[in-house]
Amino acid sequence: MTTVPSPSVPAPVSSDRRRRRRHVLVGWSFILPNFLGFAALTLVPVVGTFVVAFTDWDSYSSPKWIGLANFRRMKDDDNFWTALQNTCWYAAGHIPLTLAASLGLAVLLNQKLRGVGLLRTAFFFPYVTSLVAVAVVWNMLLSPDVGPVNQLLRHLGWSHPPGWTTSTDWSLPALILTSVWRDMGYYMVLFLAGLQTIPAELYEAARVDGTGAWKRFWHVTLPGLRPTTFFVLIMLTISSFKVFDLVQVMTEGGPGRSSLVLSQLIFREGITHGRFGYSSAVSLALFVIVLAVTLVQFQFQRRSER
Amino acid sequence: MRKTTARVVPVALAATLFGAAACGSGGGSGTTSDGRTVVKIALWNYKTTPEFKALIDGFEAKYPKIDVQPVDILADDYPDKVTTMLAGGDKTDVLTMKNVTDYSRYATRGQLLPLTDYVGKLSDKASYAGLDNFDIDGKYYAMPYRQDFWVLYYNKALVGNADVSHLTWDQFDTLSKQLTKGSGSSKTYGTYLHTWRSVVQAIASAQTGGDLLGGDYSWMKDQYDIALDIQKAGATLPFGTAKSQKITYDSQFTTGKAAMVPMGTWWGAALLSEKAQGKNPVDWGMAPIPQVGTDGKVTTFGSPTAFAVNKKAKNAEAAEQFVEWASGPEGAAAVAKIGIVPSYHSDSVMNTFFGVAGMPNDALSKQAMQPSKVQLEMPVSDKSSDVDQILTEEHELVMTGEKSVDDGIKEMDHRVKTEVQ
């Protein structure tokens, strides 16, 4: 962003330093408005969360320092463990399924077919659709008695199809299904971009060596996509752990607590019950979890690059 | 020169933006340009909640020196938004209290102006239904202007000759099954039990005396058995379908899909306005809510809505004037005129209410509007919102059949005792 065309005439040393400083200042002046906004609206509140997590605060009276009490409370809070478990289940379903679906779509739609542009657009569509609309429509599709999905399943001979969002066992799978459908188009585009960077010569060479399609995918496509896959994996991990809107609209964490996720618990404790200290403590826990998972992924990536 | 411009413009732009943002939060001056005192009032869904306009217009007609300006907030966000506003030292003069739980939170935090002196001077205090609910240690910080409670709405054509004037819940169960007809998309259900937990729990609490915050919920069992029996017989839309399809109780009734619907009196005004717009062809009436007991007394539940004055109000005096007028006989007449049940009760106000065009005014509907006792939907306590969460979650599990009634109640007992601190 701050690159400036190098001066055509070599300048004396003293003014060179001045010029460099000026360049830096110009760069800063461009970034500053955005950074101020980021600092005021994101950075300060995030840092604030870390402090609030150690207090008892209802957003009115002045916060009371209570040390680790919020974390002790979290340890004994059934809601927290339920939400953590549900979030992990959601991530365990959402990450691999979305990865597989988007990669599969990208490879399929990377071929020279008539109308491939239309298909790519079609698969990208869910991502630009309003999430609330997606959630409401899927809720209708998955409705236990009158929904088309269960009608089809009954037609295929499944006499007691799942209750989806009305069943404690099936509410998370229903959410995963919906989110995979919604997200796969976006990650497909990333993979498509990645596929363009793999040199065609590699495929040709492999073909000359007489390898089959599967082997070409395994030994050429996948290694070539490694940077993209890594990026997608990180983004998916983060988005899975902080999932909120879809759950809030589709199941509100129900039935019971069967699809309660951490972000929802944070919202509920803070905004609904006014316990901002405890809510911040849960946010901090979520932050540490996501950070740990991401670090592990980076470690793996570094090792596999060696 | 061009370089300087390139450097100055972004900075100037940024400065302007920040300046504009700072000005935006400044707020008005408290008077209009023609010298009228401005009273700002926080309310929700101004367009679709006609009572606010009725009250504001009525008040301004009487006090032409005061200009009442609505601060419109989305109904679902209302409590959160007001909480945030007050936390930020907002100066909006009048605050509408959507429920008593929020009221007690604001009042105990010292964010509302006491109206105790005014209440003390009232000669007709008994006419203000629901006023007791605003008593916090002998002090009052809000005045109720409407008092809603639950009645049984019924579709006259679908119910026919059946007597709905004093049903017990067992009779209601039997009648719901009798009134269920047809199948598939042409099916009409005997009733529609909405997905709110109050449909089962608040009724049971009001009529058996069970404590919703107590941690022992065995008194809910009979009411759950009845609700589940109705659902199992197919006499109401199943809970799971209603929830996943986000069915509105209004659509079930106005499309003639349900013969009887227990619901709050706020619905009447909506049904009337739908009728006026040609969207509601149903000929409907109101009956007292079915009872657990057979002693002839009608016990129901409900909750009042009130106006309070912000402690930091810019024009507190004018704000108080508005609250007193809106909750008193003149305000009551203004809301009764559009089919809303005011808190202030008198014969003339009730005559106005039943005189509204389209309002059912048969003897049974009039009887329905005079319950013997209206219990608060949820007792006021700092534990209310936590308990509400647990009861809602377990209600879902019982109504979707994921848990038996006994297991659900056992879990409510356990969770309320261990989780609520």
8 Å CB contact between B369 and B85: no
Q: Give which of B3, B85, B244, B389 to mutate to test A binding, by max A Cβ within 10 Å.
A: B244
Neighbouring-strand partners of residue B135: B140
Residue B158 confidence (pLDDT): 95
Q: Which residue in A160, A238, A152, A226 sits closest to A194, CA to CA?
A: A226
Within a domain: B258: yes
Domain CATH for B202: 3.40.190.10
Burial of B262 (0-12, 13-18, 19+ CB in 10 A): buried
Residue A243 near residue A267 (C-beta atoms within 8 A): no
pLDDT value of position A111: 84
Assign B3 a pLDDT band (cuts: 50, 70, 90). low
Considering only alpha carbons, which residue of chain B is nearest residue A165?
B244
Q: Please report residues of A whose CB lies closer than 8 A to that of B241.
A: 143-146, 166
**Which among A97, A207, A111 has a CA at the least distance from the CA of A215?**
A207
For the segment B289-315, what is each residue's pLDDT rounded down to a tens digit?
999 988 889 999 998 999 999 999 999
Under an 8 A CB cutoff, do A254 and B386 touch? no
From the list B105, B245, B397, the residue facing A255 with the nearest CB is: B397
* Chain B residue nearest residue A166, CA to CA: B240
Residues B63 and B185 in one domain: no
* String of DSSP letters for A119-133: HHHHHHHHHHS-HHH
Mean pLDDT of the residues in chain B: 89
Identify whether B128 is part of a domain: yes
Q: Residue B50 has what pLDDT?
A: 84
Residue type, A196: Q
Q: CA B154 to CA A109: how far, in whole Å?
A: 57
B15 has a chain A CB within 8 A of its CB:
no
Q: How confident is the model at residue A163 (pLDDT cuts 50, 70, 90)?
A: confident
The dihedral through the CA atoms of A251, A252, A254, A255 has a sign that is negative
Residue B1 lies in a domain: no
Q: Which of A13-17, A147-151, A240-244, B255-259 has the lowest mean pLDDT?
A: A13-17
The answer to whether residues B59 and B175 belong to one domain is: no
Whether residues B204 and B255 share a domain: the answer is yes
- CB-based contacts of B88, cutoff 8 Å, min separation 6: none
Cα B367 to Cα B51, B98, B154, B200, B350: the distances in Å are 24, 27, 14, 23, 12
**CA torsion angle A9 A12 A14 A19 (round to 10):** 0
Q: Where are the domains of chain A?
A: 13-52, 69-305
Whether residues B94 and B220 fall in one domain: no
Determine the distance in angstroms separating the CA of A139 from the nearest CA of chain B, rounded to an integer. Answer: 5
How do residues A56-79 score in pLDDT, each as one tens digit? 987 777 888 998 999 999 999 999
Indicate whether B359 belongs to any domain. Answer: no
Chain A residue numbers touching B105 (CB-CB < 8 A):
274
Instruction: Give me the percent of chain B exceeding a pLDDT of 70.
Output: 93
pLDDT for position B220: 96
The pLDDT tens digits of the residues spanning B391-416 come to 999 999 999 999 999 999 999 999 99
> How many angstroms separate the CA of residue A142 from the nearest CA in chain B?
8
The verdict on B389 touching A (C-beta cutoff 8 Å) is: yes
* Domain match, B274 and B379 both: yes
One-letter amino acid for residue A101 of the chain: A
Which secondary structure element, helix H or strand E, spans residue B44, and what is its range?
strand B37-44
pLDDT digits 0-9 by tens, A43-57: 999 999 999 999 998
CB contact under 8 A, A142 and B13: no
Give yes or no: residues B180 and B328 share one domain: no
Residue among A60, A140, A256 minimizing CB distance to B245: A140
Contact partners, residue B150, CB within 8 Å, separation at least 6: B202, B203, B262, B263, B264, B265, B289, B300, B301, B302
**Numbered residues of chain A with Cβ closer than 8 Å to any chain B Cβ:** 26, 29-30, 32-33, 36, 59-61, 77-79, 136, 139-140, 142-147, 163-168, 253-257, 268, 271-274
Structure confidence at residue B99 as a pLDDT band (50, 70, 90): confident
In angstroms, the separation between the Cα of residue A56 and the nearest Cα of chain B is 14
Looking at the structure, do residues B118 and B181 belong to the same domain, yes or no? no
Query: Whole-model pTM?
Result: 0.82
Residue A139 clears pLDDT 80, i.e. is over it: yes
Nearest 10 degrees: Cα torsion B242, B247, B248, B253: -80
* Domain boundaries, position B119: 29-147+304-354
Residue B238, in any domain of the structure: yes
Do B292 and B405 lie in one domain? The reply is: yes
Amino acid, res. A182: R
Pick the residue from chain B with its C-alpha nearest to A145.
B241
Q: What is the pLDDT of residues B318-364, one digit of tens each?
A: 999 999 999 999 999 999 998 899 999 999 999 999 999 889 989 99
**Residue B17 counted as domain residue:** no
- In angstroms, the separation between the Cα of residue A150 and the nearest Cα of chain B is 12
User: Do B254 and B164 share a domain, yes or no?
Assistant: yes
B199 with B280, same domain? yes
**Is the confidence at residue A7, as pLDDT, over 60?**
no
Could you tell me if residue B23 is inside a domain? no
- Whether B178 and B215 share a structural domain: yes
Q: Do B245 and A61 touch (CB under 8 A)?
A: no
> pLDDT tens digits, residue range A76-125?
999 999 999 999 999 999 999 999 999 999 999 988 888 888 999 999 99
For A39, which DSSP code? I
Does the structure show a pLDDT above 50 at B74?
A: yes
Same domain, B164 and B207: yes
Give phi and psi for B304, each to the nearest 5: -85, 155
Q: How many domains does chain B have?
A: 2
Helix B405-419 vs helix A78-108: angle between axes, to the nearest 10 degrees?
A: 110
Does the pLDDT at position A190 exceed 70?
Answer: yes
- Closest of B128, B123, B66, B136 to residue B94, by C-alpha: B66
Q: For residue range A281-296, what is the model confidence (pLDDT) as tens digits?
A: 999 999 999 999 999 9
- pLDDT(B29) > 70: no
A163–B389: do the CB atoms touch at under 8 Å?
no
- Which of B6, B105, B393 faces A254 most closely, judged by CB atoms? B393
- The span from the CA of B418 to the CA of A54, in Å, is 23
Residue A144 has pLDDT above 90, yes or no: no
Q: Which residues of A are less than 8 Å from B396 in CB distance? A: 254-256
Residue B226 within any structural domain of the chain = yes
Query: How many other CB atoms are found less than 10 A from the CB of residue A35?
Result: 12
Architecture of domain A69-305: Orthogonal Bundle (1.10)
